[in-house]
């Protein structure tokens, strides 16, 4: 997040990572607490769509790290909410069957998503996955967020190890769809160690970056308990 509010708790209390709220889940909120230094666009954005995305950050008990998105790509604000303000939780995989509003389906991000859903031979069919980013936000909130130049961001849940061979096959499939629809598809694997870019794991790198609430780490195996190098 380019701008982030100071946490509303002492740093020594930032030890919680409540599994009920997972990174990239969208939260519908009753209201949004105001913090010092809040960008001027935040109130209008929240009024337009009272949702925020769960971000990766350690927090105190009862507090959730969230991000608010504005209409511009540069308008991203990291802030905090409490459990009492959460009305609804929408996971990316819950949005796979959602349809864009009338007149929006032709946008490239939605066209690519529809193609992935229709393909009965897609390697995604064996996995739990869903859209994040602008496409996921629009499907959840029913507010125009996707633009003609928007990428399609995907989250793929991989609690069990995805082999390098399967990752390469999946990446090749996504790249083919991306070429056919004229956009970029960016997929992230959600592993026990955090978020890992599919491109990195499929490339066969000795170590890949796993983004975790406690910070990014370089790991040989994101499905192993071994946390070799913090960065």
Query: Which active-site residues does the annotation give?
Result: 151, 153
Which class for 180: exposed (0-12), middle (13-18), buried (19 or more C-beta within 10 A)? exposed
- The maximal CA–CA distance of the chain, rounded, in angstroms, is 50
Q: What are 26's two structure tokens?
A: 């969208």
Q: First vs last Cα of the chain: how many Å apart?
A: 18
User: Residue 194 burial (CB < 10 Å; 0-12/13-18/19+)?
Assistant: buried
Distance CA 19, CA 21 (A): 5
> Which residues, in sequence order, are bridge partners of residue 76?
69
Rounded to 10 degrees, the C-alpha dihedral 73/75/78/84 comes to: -100
């Amino acid at each position: 997040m380019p701008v982030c509010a100071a946490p509303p708790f002492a740093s020594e209390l930032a030890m919680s990572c409540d599994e009920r709220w997972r990174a990239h889940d969208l939260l519908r909120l009753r209201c949004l607490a105001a913090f010092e230094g809040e960008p001027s666009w935040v109130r209008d954005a929240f009024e337009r769509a009272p949702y925020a995305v769960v971000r990766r950050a350690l927090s105190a008990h009862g507090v959730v790290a969230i991000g608010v998105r504005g209409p511009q790509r540069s308008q991203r604000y990291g802030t905090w909410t409490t459990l009492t303000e959460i009305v609804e939780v929408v996971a990316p995989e819950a949005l796979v069957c959602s349809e864009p509003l009338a007149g929006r389906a032709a946008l490239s991000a939605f066209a690519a998503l529809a193609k992935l859903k229709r393909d009965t031979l897609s390697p995604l069919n064996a996995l739990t996955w869903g859209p994040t980013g602008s496409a996921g936000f629009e499907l959840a909130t029913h507010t125009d967020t996707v633009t003609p130049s928007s990428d399609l961001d995907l989250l793929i849940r991989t609690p069990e190890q995805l082999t390098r061979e399967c990752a390469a096959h999946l990446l090749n499939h996504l790249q083919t769809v991306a070429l056919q629809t004229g956009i970029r598809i960016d997929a992230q694997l959600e592993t026990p160690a955090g978020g890992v870019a599919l491109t990195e794991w499929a490339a066969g790198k000795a170590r890949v970056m796993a983004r975790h609430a406690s910070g990014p780490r370089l790991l040989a195996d994101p499905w192993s308990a071994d946390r070799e190098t913090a960065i």
